[in-house]
Structure 1
Amino acid sequence: MIRRDLQDETCDVVIVGGGASGLSLAHHLTTTGSCTVTVVEAPEGPRRPPERTWCYWDQGTGDFDEAVCASWSRLRVHGTDGDAVTVNPSPLRYRMIRSSAFERLVHARLARSLGGHLLRATADTVRGTPDGAEVRCTAADGRTLTLRARHVFDSRPPRALPPARTQLMQHFRGWFVRTDKDRFDPTVADLMDFRVPQPHHGLAFGYVLPLAPDRALVEYTEFSRTPLTTAAYEGALIRYCGDTLELRSYAVESAEQGVIPMTDARFPRRMGPAVFRIGTAGGATRPATGYTFAAVQRQSRAIAAALRGGHAQVPAPHGRRALAMDAVLLRALDTGRISGPEFFTGLFRGVPAHRLLRFLDGATSFWEEWGIGLRTPIGPMLRTAVELPFLPRRVHPDPRTGEHPDDTAA
């Protein structure tokens, strides 16, 4: 149910933040009805994030199929030379969820559950107490209340990323476009189109998710140290739509823009005996790709299972081998030792698609990963792997301001 009365209360679990990680955890905790859960979600206004798109690959049916707005059975990557490789990752399908549809679905499920509550308020502070933790909140009208719980799971992003050897950003702007004629194949998603001008540092690519023959999400994305201005993204999208996709007549229906950290930083998942971080704040974003949604589901299921067993913990969303390989790749990209377009295009050309996607999800065996490693530039990757343990971890400047802000998030 949605809480309209603002009174101090006590429950088993408080989840701070109603994004993908917070609502996913609430869903998994309330499915069995084994505990009471309150989700603190910012009221309408500037603190609420704009609508976002989340993509992932999966097979069969999933918990949130009702919110999936499109899916694709084939994936395509275009090299800088214009050659394309199209793959079928069966039994996996690439799926897309819009945040508004996801929120409506989970909100409805919380309203029907016995122990789930949604509170529209801004979480001001989170702190541990002798018997658990408490969250102090402020409603839109200025009234305050305190929530006390046995456990608090905080999904708010930290104000600064932890120290890292390498920190890049995946930053992008996308347009939902409608064309005057059928221009898209709804069965094929273009994951990476490297036919765009490449920046001096990092890499850039187009990203096209067809929603209908005459409608698609078209994005311009870069992996680099600093985001662009909105005007620069707009210019890149105009060139990509016109010069590369050859869309002569189209209307932009809406836009989305974002920045995703790509870092080998170590994200602390426990901030106190009863306070935990989840989602991107808890390390769920895959460092080398920026994908988060699938890892959030694994993390949420694991937390729910642990609480049912009487243990409070947030397991690591990615294995050590996966994080080690990602750290090497990020450093190799950042130093320019490898070409990003050639690296990713080579993987899709040389590795079976279903195995490559399982690899990107951290679900491959050591020997499968060894075989994939042989498809990469071995010399530059080995050189990077050897130097990486000797590199210091440091706090990198905030990409928005250039400053080194203190991480004061509770």
Structure 2
Amino acid sequence: MLDAEVAIVGGGAAGLSLAHRLARPAPGERRVSAVLVDAPPGPLRPPSRTWCFWEKGPGPYDAALTAAWRRLRVHTPAGRPAADDIAPLTYKMLRSDDFERLVARDLARQADVRRLEATVETVDGISGGAEIHARTRQGHPVTVRARWVFDSRPLGSLPAARTTLLQHFHGWFVRTGRPVFDPGTVDLMDFRVPQPPRGLAFGYVLPTGRHEALVEYTEFSGAVLSRQAYETALRRYAEDVLHLGDFEVVSAETGVIPMTDARFARRTAPSVFRIGAAGGATRPSTGYTFSAVQRQTRAVVDALRAGRRPMPPPAHSARSRAMDAVLLRALDSGRVDGAAFFARLFTRVPMERLLRFLDGGTHLYEDVSLGFRTPVLPMLRSAAELSWLPRRPFPEPSPRPPRAT
């Protein structure tokens, strides 16, 4: 049996971020013993994925970044580009394999956080803590007992919600024969693609050089597409919109992220908490998760070092969640043209302010001002409708989040 003050279940963005923070106490801070229980290689371990986020100034993971940008661009459905500098923010790209290597290197240099490769079978609350029953790759049972457990594993199904959309995407890491990319600018949303009847679709380009980029096709809608449909849409975007010419697909990534106004439980037993996407860290209106994970894990570690109960805080404010619920309803009902809605925001609001809004960092007066840049009557009708809509289970099991952006 392994004993520790903290046990972390799952080695995705949330689990690794929490382990990394616990492994790096500042001088004089209280040290916390922890065990990170990560699934062996196989179907339970998340596939390689890309996380994107924005932050002000340098961050703790800068050494592992693939690229970083200060300029973002959006293309309207009519093809008009709108670009802006987002200073003092920086948009950052972090690949999960690089993040895992950085965390593994730092864990190897200290003794506070141990790593156990095992498949978790149960997490049970017990007197004064919790107990994890797991099995190693060789099939041997192992038990971890901890005062606090933080579970970041994907949920088996989504909680009941009034509205649930899926952000689903397919992307290629490409290398072109000629220099076609601007390595200083990210195409955050390119609406020069056919739009679905409800929701929206857009292209997404993260250039890492003149010849290299991650090119993605993304939809916000109620159901995923076939693999062939993604491939067709992505190839049309690469060839007919971006005009890449001859290019090589180096690797690919595919994922599904739930966008929902469901209420996520942050505690499942007196000493067992959920963190990451399972704890509601995904922003319902955008699918971005990584920044909220950092806020969650920072608050947890601060509480642990201070000797307080480490209940993870809500990842997003009540005001942000309420606004997101209205937007999701407006998109799902078809009252709002999704491509026109986002294009209008990005062309009429400074991108730095819009990114702060998407991260819940704006003041009330800024939110009100931004609200007047949206289709007011459809949004008000959607808001009124929410008061009587029942919360229903999502018809399909929750997809494993492959990217915490």
Q: Name the TM-score class by shorter chain.
A: over 0.9
The offset of 1:94, in angstroms, is 0.6
* Aligned counterpart for 1:378 among listed residues 350, 354, 376: 376
Partner SS, residue 305 of structure 1: helix
Determine if contact 1:226/1:399 at 8 Å carries over to the other structure. Answer: no
Quote the Cα distance in structure 1 between the aligned partners of 2:131 and 2:282. Answer: 27
Determine if contact 2:72/2:84 at 8 Å carries over to the other structure. Answer: yes
The offset of 1:121, in angstroms, is 0.9
Quote the Cα distance in structure 2 between the aligned partners of 1:30 and 1:150. Answer: 17
1:363 corresponds to: 361
The offset of 1:92, in angstroms, is 0.6
Quote the Cα distance in structure 2 between the aligned partners of 1:9 and 1:273. Answer: 20
Quote the Cα distance in structure 2 between the aligned partners of 1:135 and 1:213. Answer: 49
Aligned amino acid, residue 348 of structure 2: G
The offset of 1:47, in angstroms, is 2.3
1:31 corresponds to: 24
Quote the Cα distance in structure 2 between the aligned partners of 1:337 and 1:115. Answer: 53
Gaps of 5+ in 1: 1-7, 402-410
Partner SS, residue 397 of structure 1: coil
2:7 corresponds to: 14
Quote the Cα distance in structure 1 between the aligned partners of 2:144 and 2:298. Answer: 24
Cα–Cα, structure 1 residues 152 and 94, in superposed 2: closer, same or farther, change >3 Å? same
Number of aligned residue pairs:
394
Single out whichever of 308-317 and 186-195 deviates more from structure 2.
308-317
Gaps of 5+ in 2: 400-405
Determine if contact 1:332/1:381 at 8 Å carries over to the other structure. Answer: yes
2:171 corresponds to: 174
Q: Deviations over 1:163-202 (max 9, x none)?
A: 0000000000100000001010000000101100111221
Q: Is structure 2 residue 100 aligned with structure 1 residue 103?
A: yes
Partner SS, residue 387 of structure 2: helix
Q: Is structure 2 residue 201 aligned with structure 1 residue 204?
A: yes
The offset of 1:400, in angstroms, is 7.9
Aligned amino acid, residue 335 of structure 1: S
**What does 1:2-401 correspond to in 2, within 5 Å?**
8-32=1-25, 34-310=31-307, 311-398=309-396
The offset of 1:399, in angstroms, is 6.3
Quote the Cα distance in structure 2 between the aligned partners of 1:355 and 1:276. Answer: 32
Aligned amino acid, residue 53 of structure 1: T
Quote the Cα distance in structure 2 between the aligned partners of 1:120 and 1:94. Answer: 33
Quote the Cα distance in structure 2 between the aligned partners of 1:59 and 1:185. Answer: 22
Determine if contact 1:227/1:400 at 8 Å carries over to the other structure. Answer: no
Superposition RMSD in Å: 1.1
Quote the Cα distance in structure 2 between the aligned partners of 1:80 and 1:348. Answer: 12
Partner SS, residue 66 of structure 2: strand
Task: State the identity %.
Answer: 57
Q: Deviations over 1:214-255 (max 9, x none)?
A: 000000000001111111111111111111111220000000
The offset of 1:49, in angstroms, is 1.9
**Normalized against structure 1, the TM-score is what?**
0.94
Partner SS, residue 55 of structure 1: strand
Quote the Cα distance in structure 1 between the aligned partners of 2:19 and 2:225. Answer: 35
**Normalized against structure 2, the TM-score is what?**
0.96
Determine if contact 2:165/2:221 at 8 Å carries over to the other structure. Answer: yes
The offset of 1:203, in angstroms, is 0.8
